[in-house]
Chain A
Amino acid sequence: MSPPLLGVEGQSQCNVSLMASSASVDCVSQTGPGLKENNYLGLSDCSSVDSSTVSDVPEENKKNLNLKATELRLGLPGSQSPERDSTFALQCSGKIDEKQLFPLVPSKDGICSLSQKTVVSGNKRGFADTVEGFSESKSSIFSEGNWMFNAAASESGQPKLAGNAGINVMLANRSSGTQSSIKTEGPAKASQESNVKMNGSNTNSAPAAKAQVVGWPPIRSFRKNTLATTSKNNDEVDGKPGPGALFVKVSMDGAPYLRKVDLRTYSTYKELSSALEKMFSCFTIGQCGPQGAPSREMLSETKLRDLLHGSEYVLTYEDKDADWMLVGDVPWEMFIASCKRLKIMKGSDAIGLAPRAVEKNKNRI
C-alpha cells in the first residue's frame, strides 16, 4: 500500500507533480523510499526553517522568543502570557469592539505559538498519519491513490514557526517525532504572494482527488448509501451534468467487460465513434475469424470501421426513458443530455433499429 502524502500546491517541487496528477500512485513512488518529509502545509517560507534536522529546533525557539511580543494571544488566567494581562482585563470588562472580532491582520494574528513545546514531542498526528494508521489497521475503506490534499503554501514569514514545526513534525512519521525534518523546499519564498492567490483559486478550480477517510465527511451512512444508489439508478453518470465529466458505460455484445467514456471529451458523433472503435478493437479482432470476415493480417482501422459502421455492429444508446435508440438521429448536445449508456449491438440484434446498416452490410459483402 503506497504511503499517503499530502501534496502542496504552488510549490515547485515534486509535490506539485503530485498535485497535478491526482490519484497518481506512481508519483508517490517517485519520491523515494518511504515517506518524504516535506513541509506539506507549506509553512516552509519561514526563514529559520530552512534545513532539515533537529539541530534547528533550538534556533527556531530563539526566533520564536523574539516574535512572541508581536503575537496576538488571548491567554486564560494563569496561562503563559504575563505581558498580556492588561489586555485580558480589558476583555473581561465586557467591552467588545471591532478588534475583538479578530480582524484579519495577517502579520499579527498568527497561530499562537502555544505549541512551542510540542515541536519536539511531535504530538500532532497529521492527516498523513491518520491515513497511514488506517492502512495499518487494514481498513477496507481505503482507496489507493486518492490521497492528495490541497495543503496550500502559506504567506511570508510569520510567528507561526512553532505551530508549523509542530505540524511538520507530525506529518512525517509518527514514531520518529523530532527526527522528522522540517525540510522546506527552497524557492518557495520567492513565489509566495502569487502562491497565495493561486491557492485560493486552485482550491476552487482544480480540486485534487479527495482522500477517502473513514467517516469523513461526516454524513450518516444511510444518507451516503441512499444517494449513491440513486445516482447509479437515475443516470449512469459520474458527477453532474454540468461542467465536469460525463461518463457513460459502453457495452459491446460479446465483450467480456464494459468500458466507460466521457462524453464531454467529444463534440461530434464522428469523434465518439472513432474513439469507440479504438477502444473495442481488441474485441472485434477476435470476432472476425469465425464469421468469415477479413483475416487477421489484413485488419486495420478501416476494416474496423467497416465492421462497426457497415456490417456487424450498430451503435445504440439508452436514453432517460430507458428506450434503446440509434445513435446519430438527434443533435449532439441533445444526445449527450439524454444518453445514459451506450451499447454496441450486433447487426443481427439491431435489425429492428437500423435496417439500412444491415443492407449496407449485404452490399459490402
Chain B
Amino acid sequence: MCLFQCIMNYFPEEVLEHVFDFLTSHRDRNAVSLVCKSWYNVERCSRKKVFIGNCYAVNPELVIARFPRFQSLTLKGKPHFADFNLVPHDWGGYVQPWIEALAKNGISLEELRLKRMVVSDESLELLSKSFPNFKSLTLVSCEGFSTDGLAAIASNCRYLRELDLQENEVDDRKGHWLSCFPDSCTSLVSLNFACLKGEVNAAALERLIARCRNLKSLRLNHAVPLETLQKILVQAPQLNDLGTGSFVNDPYSESYFKLKAVLQKCTSVKSLSGFLDVNPRCLPSIYPICTNLTSLNLSYAPGIQSNDLIKLIVRCKKLERLWILDTIGDKGLEVVAATCKELQELRVFPSDLHGVGNAAVTEEGLVAISAGCPKLNSILYFCQQMTNAALITVAKNCPNFIRFRLCTLNPVIPDAVTNQPLDDGFGAIVQSCKGLKRLSVSGLLTDQVFLYIGMYAEQLEMLSIAFAGDSDKGMLYVLNGCKKLKKLEIRDSPFGNMALLSDVGKYETMRSLWMSSCEVTYGACKTLAEKMPRLNVEVINENEEMEGRPKDKHRVEKMYLYRTLVGARKDAPPFVWTL
C-alpha cells in the first residue's frame, strides 16, 4: 500500500463521504468506486443520483442493492433509432417494474428522469402515491400515458417542483389535469406542458402561476391563448424560461398592447420557445426580451418566415443556443453568424418534410456560421446539400466541436460541386475536432470516411451511420479505432458478419450496437450471442408470416445488442428474439 492510501484510510468515512459529495458526475463517482473496497462502499452508500443509460443493462433490485440511498434516477429505454420509427411499438422500455421495486424497497425517490420509455397512467399514479418527497418528473420522448396520469401527479405530489414534459406522445383526455394541482401547491419551479395537445383551464392556470412564487420556467402548449399568457406574465415577471402558447392576436387590439407592456418588464427571461401558432405581426412584442436571450427555440414555429426570423435574431446578441427551422435560409444564417458571437449550439431542422420545398439551407449557411461563431461546439444541421470544401472550412474554423451531426435530406447525396463522396469533409472534421464525442454522418460516403473516423476520432462516444460505406472494412475501422465508443447505430449500410464478429469483446466496452438493414445474418447473431453471454443480442422480427426462426444464412433486418448484467429480459414481446 502506498503512503497516500494509508493516509486516506485513516480518514473516517464521513470525511470521505464529504469529499465525494463534491463529485456530482456519475462518471467521476464510478471512477472513484474502482479505487479500493472502502471507497467503493463509501461511494455507493452516499450516491444520490443514479444514471442508467440502458434500463435493460441492470434490474431495479441490483441498483437498489448497490445504492441504497439514492434519491434521483435517470433511465433510458428504447434505442435511439426508435425516435425515427425504426423500432416497433411494444418493443419494451417499461418504467412500471422500476417504480414498483423502488416503492417496495423504501427508496425515497425525489427525482425521476426518463427518456424513450413507456410510462403508463398506472405508473404515474403509483409514482405519485409512493414517494412523499417526490419533487421532479422529467419525461422526454416517452409514451403510453394520458392526462389522467398527469392529474395523479398534480393531485398527489405535494412538494412537486418540476414537471417537465418534452416531446412526449400524450393521450390528451380533455380532462382538467392542471386543475388538479391543489390550492396548497406553491412549490412549482418548472412547468412544461408544451407537448400536450389539449386545452387547460385558463383560470386554473393563472391561479396556479400566481401562487407559485418560485416559478422560473414555464412552457405552455399552443392551446393557451395570448390573453392568458399576458395575464400570467403579469403574475410572474420573474420567469427565466418562457414557452409561449398561441401567439395569435390582432396587433391593434387592447390585449396586444397589454402584452407588449408586460413583456417589456420580463427582463429575466433568458430562454424563449413556443410560437407553434403565431401571427408574425405580433412578434415585435418580444423584441425587448431578445436582448437578454441566451437560448431561443423557434424550431416549432413554421409560421415565422425568414425575414421575420431575421428581424428577431438580429436583436439577440447574447444567444448561446439557437434551434431553428431551415426556413431561415443561408441568408438568415449569415445574419446569425454576424450577430450571435456567443453561439455555442445550433440546430437547424427541416421544415418541409413532404414536398419539394425550396426552403432549405446549404453548405453556405454552415460555413458562414462556422466563420462567425468561434464558440460553436454543438451542431445539428439538416441541409439540402453539402460539399467537402465547406466541411473542411468548417473544421478549420471550429476545432471545438463536441457534437457534430450533419444530415443531408437526400441520404446519399455527393459533394454538390465535385460529386465526390463526402469522405474528406468528415475526415477533416474528425481530424480537427479532437474533443468530438458525438458524430452523425450522411451523404455519399465510402469506407474511407470510416478510416478517418477510426484514426482520428479518439474521444468519440456515439456514432450514427446511415446509407454509408462499401464493405465490412468501414465498420472495422470504427470498431478498431474508436476506443471510447459507447453507442454505435447503423442503418442501411453494407456491413456484415465479418465486421460484426471480428472483435466480439468490444461490445462489452460499449453500451449498445444497433444494426438495421445491413448484411448481418441470423447465424452470425447466434454465434455472437453464444460467445458473449453478457450481451443481449436481440433480433427484431417484423415478418408476421414467418413461422419459427430464420435460417442461419438469412439476413437479419434489425438487430440490437447491449451489454447487460441480468441476462435476457423477461418482458420482450414475441417479435423480439433474444439469442
Contact = CB atoms under 8 A, between A and B. Distances in A.
Contacts of B431: 96, 100-102
A163 B358 contact: no
Given A101-B428, A137-B557, A222-B168, A240 B357 contact: yes
Contacts of A219: 84, 349-350, 353, 382
Contact of B358 (A74, A151, A207, A230): A207
Interface residues of A, number: 79
B469 A76 contact: no
B305 interface: yes
Contacts of A117: 471
A115 B471 contact: yes
A209 B354 CA distance: 9
A338 to B, nearest CB: 12
Contacts of B382: 217, 219
Given A101-B396, A111-B423, A123-B519, A234 B470 contact: no
- Majority DSSP secondary structure for residues of A touching B: loop
B455 A74 contact: yes
B471 A114 contact: yes
Contacts of B120: none
A114 B543 CA distance: 35
B428 A102 contact: yes
A279 interface: no
Contacts of A124: 469-471, 493-494
Contact of B419 (A199, A227, A244): A199
B357 A244 contact: yes
Contact of B359 (A74, A196, A230, A240): A240
Interface of A: 22, 41-42, 73-76, 96, 100-104, 106, 109-112, 114-115, 117-118, 121, 123-127, 130, 133, 137, 141, 149-155, 163, 166-167, 170, 196, 199-200, 203-204, 207-211, 213-224, 226-228, 230-231, 233-234, 238-244
A111 B420 contact: yes
B419 A155 contact: yes
Contact of A130 (B168, B420, B467, B472): B467
B444 interface: yes
B202 interface: no
A137 B558 CA distance: 13
B447 interface: yes
Given A76-B480, A203-B413, A239-B352, A230 B519 contact: no
Contact of A217 (B409, B420, B454): B409
Given A203-B416, A242-B358, A216 B466 contact: yes
Given A214-B85, A226-B276, A106 B420 contact: yes
11 contacts: A100-B431, A112-B447, A124-B469, A125-B494, A154-B420, A155-B418, A203-B385, A221-B83, A223-B349, A224-B353, A239-B352
A267 B384 CA distance: 30
A24 to B, nearest CB: 13
B84 to A, nearest CB: 3
Interface string B537-575: 000001100000000000001000000000000000000
A74 B359 CA distance: 38
Contacts, number: 241
Given A207-B384, A244-B357, A222 B167 contact: yes
A239 to B, nearest CB: 5
- Majority DSSP secondary structure for residues of B touching A: loop
Nearest to A162: B470
Contacts of A76: 451, 454-455, 477, 480-481
Contact of B412 (A111, A149, A210, A214): A149
A11 B570 CA distance: 56
A221 B84 contact: yes
Contact of A196 (B350, B419, B425): B419
> 8 smallest A-B Cβ distances: which pairs?
A215-B84, A115-B470, A124-B494, A102-B424, A123-B494, A118-B471, A222-B167, A112-B448
Nearest to B495: A123
A234 B423 CA distance: 41
B418 A204 contact: no
Contacts of A215: 81, 84-86, 491
A226 B299 CA distance: 11
B333 to A, nearest CB: 15
B421 A111 contact: yes
A33 B574 CA distance: 39
A75 B496 CA distance: 21
A170 to B, nearest CB: 7
Nearest to A124: B494
Nearest to A152: B419
Given A76-B480, A215-B491, A222-B168, 14 more contacts: A109-B424, A111-B420, A112-B423, A114-B451, A126-B412, A130-B492, A137-B557, A149-B412, A151-B414, A210-B410, A214-B84, A218-B407, A239-B359, A240-B359
Given A104-B424, A117-B471, A203-B384, A218 B300 contact: no
Interface string B427-453: 110011000000010001011100110
Nearest to A247: B355
Nearest to B445: A111
B17 interface: no
Contacts of B362: 204
Contact of A242 (B277, B356, B359, B452): B359
Given A104-B392, A207-B358, A239-B355, A133 B416 contact: no
Contacts of A151: 412-414
Contact of B470 (A118, A204, A242, A243): A118
A190 B427 CA distance: 32
B419 A123 contact: no
A72 B385 CA distance: 25
A209 B356 contact: yes
Nearest to B476: A76
A102 B466 contact: no
A228 B277 contact: no
Contacts of A226: 276, 300
A130 B382 CA distance: 21
A240 B355 CA distance: 11
B392 A103 contact: yes
B403 interface: no
